[in-house]
Amino acid sequence: MPLAAQPSAHRPPGGPPAKALRLETRRFVLRTVTPGDAHARWLGWAADPEVMSPLNVRTRQMSLPDLQRYIATFDQVGRCLIGIYDKSTEQQIGFYEIDFEPAHRLATFNVIVGDKAYWGGQAVSETRSALLDYVFTKRGVEKAVGRPLARNFPAIYNYRAQGWRLEGILKSHRQMFDGSGRVDQFQFGLTKDDWRAHKARASSNGPRR
């Protein structure tokens, strides 16, 4: 889960050098995050239960060096940390974590939109579409995976609206961080062919208004 695990930051031996990613959508810029991008607003997201609770992640009172160390754990090859930036304000509103499994051509997505002004405004749909295009065409991925908790209703809505398939429900799979019991976890999947078909249907239906 985002802001939880702290794996080693070393790049796999013989792996390609990390390359900065930059993608643009109509309203947003998506780009690789570096430790120098750490800022106080991000610290606020980590400490906000409304942001972290749907992910079943305990809030954290992080310092700026803590956040910089967290960002540095991503090698930006197998584990990518990608910031979401509003084009009009140039402020970061959230971020993606994407974990790649090259042997299986899989990419697992996690997203946090920390700025509540963008909740319900299709920021995830718009930005994840660009990232899906990227992983399917540039990274050799054949299937994307997302694993929201059953109570994370906005995430589930976004997966369904974007054409992801509900592949299974893992019953009582996660222990709640606050000790209140166990919770189901969903698994959504989206193959490269599914994504192409979804885009073709959306195009034939015309732009959203």
- Report d(CA 38, CA 36) in Å as an integer: 6
Domain at 22-204, CATH homologous superfamily: Gcn5-related N-acetyltransferase (GNAT) (3.40.630.30)
pLDDT digit of tens for each residue in the chain (209 aa)?
A: 455 433 333 343 334 445 799 999 999 999 999 999 999 999 999 999 999 988 888 899 999 999 999 999 999 999 999 999 999 999 999 999 999 999 999 999 999 999 999 999 999 999 999 999 999 999 999 999 999 999 899 999 999 999 999 999 999 999 887 778 899 999 999 999 999 999 999 888 765 54
DSSP-based three-state secondary structure for 53: helix
Distance, in Å, from the CA atom of 184 to the CA atom of 154, rounded to the nearest integer, reads 15
Domain ranges of the chain: 22-204
Helices in the chain by DSSP H: which ranges?
40-46, 49-52, 64-72, 123-138, 153-161, 192-204
The pTM of this model reads 0.88
**Among the listed residues 135, 138, 136, 156, the one whose alpha carbon sits nearest the alpha carbon of residue 146:** 156
Residue among 64, 164, 90 at smallest CA distance from 124:
164
Q: How many residues does the chain have?
A: 209
